Structure 1
Amino acid sequence: MENTTFLSANLTDMSLLKTAGIVNMACFIILVLSHCVFFYFVVVILCAFFTTAYIKEKARYVLFIHMILNDSLYLIVVFALYVAYMYYVYIPASLCYTMLTISTSTFRVTPYNLSVMSLERYVAVCFPLRHTQMCTPRSTTIALACIWAIALIFNLADIVVLGSKVGKNFFSLSVVCSRGSMTATQAQGIITLCSSTISFTAVGLIIIYTYIQVVLVARKISSDKSSAFKAGKTIMLHAFQLILCMMSFSSFFTETYLKIYQVFLSIINYLVFMCLPRLISPLIYGLRDETLRKYMMTFRSAVPSVEEAGK
């Protein structure tokens, strides 16, 4: 009876591993294809930005370009970390910590950028006469500098705590890179939890406030109502993207309480909650914006087809 139970358990594990392998392979293919589509749109949008003087002068486009560049860096670094972790590739601890610092800081920059983009739409709708004075290239640069300063403060606190607990030889070791391998004390976990809670709470409140104000203005005014409602929809998209970013925290609970499925939960969590919020950015904002959409159509028509290229 015990042998039968043991054999049944082994068959179940083997079936689970086989299913997990198929799911992982399918998710990996989807991941690669989605990254290719994402970077295609990024290249097109960057071409539009750097070749159109009108776009370069607008704060909303500068913030958008900053966000997709930040998301591109995040996706590249996290993809490299994920592949290295899945295949147990040992890398120097110093390089591992640098890559983790880039991934965590760029992860936090995205919601910060969303909040600033919401504020820019709020100013454009609620204070249209002061918009050109408040949303200048200089103020946009200052806002981006503040975004990165706030994002890196938590990383600075983490490296101070880590440096006080490990020896000098720690960063010369080779490790399988993960957040766990770079965590030496409980204080680091507290820093991560506090940074995520504070960041997403503050950004959520900003987005909710700006959306309510924009909707109130849209209901009051009798002219140019379409632009106000369009700004409200844009802020709602920011909120949707923020929710997707916040759902990345659910990976901790799913991988903790559903350990039996952990072999393929990791790549699903990575694809849906880590990558999806960034991958949809060019599609949401690029295709919705009339100027960028026109440039995309022009760029597409300017690229020769395979048959034309072969002639």
Structure 2
Amino acid sequence: MVNSSSTFQVNTTQAPLTLGKTFDVIRWSFVALIIVGFCFFILFIAIMLHIFCITPLLRENARYLLFFYMLVNDTFYLLITFFLLLVVLFLFYLPIPICFLLYAISSILFKVTPYNLAVMALERYMAICYPLHRALLCTTNRANVAYSLTWMLLIVIHGAELVLMFSSATNLYIYAICKHDSLLVNPIQNIIRTFSFTLCFGSVGIVIIFTYVKIMLVAHKVKSQSSTASKAGRTVMLHAFQLLLCMSSLLSTLVDTLLPKRIDYMPITYFFFFTCVPRFLTPIIYGIRDEELRRHIKKSLTKYFH
């Protein structure tokens, strides 16, 4: 009986240790997978940015300029969110103001991409429905202005949340893990965040639907499936697909709420599938589909790998 009891105690002691080692292996495997995927993503972006810098035709086109803004934006978003994920996984404490700053920047970067897609859809709409005015309206300067205004709008929204935090909290200069709950000191913050997300994805969805319907009406009048209008319509639908990919990141919050808390390796799992994979796919799909970009990508790949 004594030997049996001792064996049982040893087994029950070793089981959590073995389970903990398994979780560590899974966690580090996903970290390595994300890092490898991110390296390929960075390589692709480096190629695209090189193409953009050496090709005047692309630099002078508002649509391609917005596309490259999206690439750079998503790169910084993945960097910051991956850092925040590691902070949570390894229980690294940071001052609350720094946590909020990192959260605000990642949230702004997250919302800039949908607005960027809306502006790209509007560019296609102007090019097809008002071709005579395109040269005047769809310029790189206007694209820069639209991108800057997007940042200004989101900075104002998060600035209001920051003011609310400092006015509501008694002590913000403490160390905490950078989680969503750690930054909530006033219920109004949830209202601001809900309004921000609703405004972002609601307005972008309306713009994409509106531009697609208008472009398809022009394509129907032309009655040619190979027309420029039909191609523009498919481009706008691609933007809608990209918007859905962006929205998939919101699923991580839902999954985090529903999954049992004991599954401690799951956060990095759905971070990979809901945040990284969509942003890895979006530029690749867009870059391969666009004839001009595809031609330059093939040229660059042939130059570097032969």
Distance, in Å, in 1 between the alignment partners of 2:158 and 2:129 is 36
Q: Give the aligned residue type for 1:273.
A: F
Are 1:85 and 2:76 an aligned pair? Answer: no
Which has the higher mean CA deviation after the structures are superposed, 10-19 or 109-118?
10-19
Alignment match, 2:107? 104
Are 1:33 and 2:36 an aligned pair? Answer: yes
Structure 1 residue 11: Cα displacement = 10
Distance, in Å, in 2 between the alignment partners of 1:158 and 1:33 is 35
Alignment match, 1:238? 239
Per-residue deviation, residues 114-161 of structure 1 (Å, max 9, x unmatched): 111111111111112211111012221221122112222221111011
Alignment match, 1:294? 295
**8 Å contact kept, 1:218–1:225:** no
- Cα RMSD between the aligned structures? 2.6
Which has the higher mean CA deviation after the structures are superposed, 179-188 or 34-43?
179-188
Alignment match, 1:271? 272
Structure 1 residue 170: Cα displacement = 2.0
Alignment match, 2:8? none
Which has the higher mean CA deviation after the structures are superposed, 125-134 or 111-120?
125-134
2:200 counterpart SS class: helix
| 1:141–1:33 Cα change, 3 Å | same
Structure 1 residue 31: Cα displacement = 1.2
Structure 1 residue 45: Cα displacement = 0.8
Distance, in Å, in 1 between the alignment partners of 2:84 and 2:53 is 31
Are 1:113 and 2:133 an aligned pair? Answer: no
Per-residue deviation, residues 208-227 of structure 1 (Å, max 9, x unmatched): 11111112211211468432
2:185 counterpart SS class: coil
Alignment match, 2:126? 123
TM-score, normalized by length of structure 2? Answer: 0.88
Per-residue deviation, residues 46-73 of structure 1 (Å, max 9, x unmatched): 1111111111110101110111111111
TM-score, normalized by length of structure 1? Answer: 0.87
What is the correspondence of 1:98-247 to structure 2 with a 5 Å cutoff? 98-167=101-170, 170-171=172-173, 173-222=174-223, 225-247=226-248
Per-residue deviation, residues 86-119 of structure 1 (Å, max 9, x unmatched): 1111223332222111101101101110111111
Structure 1 residue 20: Cα displacement = 4.8
**Which residues of structure 2 form unaligned runs of 5+?**
1-11
Distance, in Å, in 2 between the alignment partners of 1:37 and 1:16 is 32
**8 Å contact kept, 1:255–1:262:** no
**8 Å contact kept, 2:94–2:176:** yes
- The count of aligned residue pairs is 299
Distance, in Å, in 2 between the alignment partners of 1:11 and 1:101 is 43
Runs of 4+ in 1 over 6 A off after TM superposition: 9-16
Distance, in Å, in 1 between the alignment partners of 2:285 and 2:75 is 15
Which has the higher mean CA deviation after the structures are superposed, 23-32 or 119-128?
23-32
Alignment match, 1:46? 49
| 1:91–1:235 Cα change, 3 Å | same
Alignment match, 1:282? 283
Are 1:69 and 2:45 an aligned pair? Answer: no
Structure 1 residue 76: Cα displacement = 0.9
The percentage of aligned residue pairs carrying the same residue is: 36
Alignment match, 1:5? none
Alignment match, 1:6? none
Q: Give the aligned residue type for 1:292.
A: L
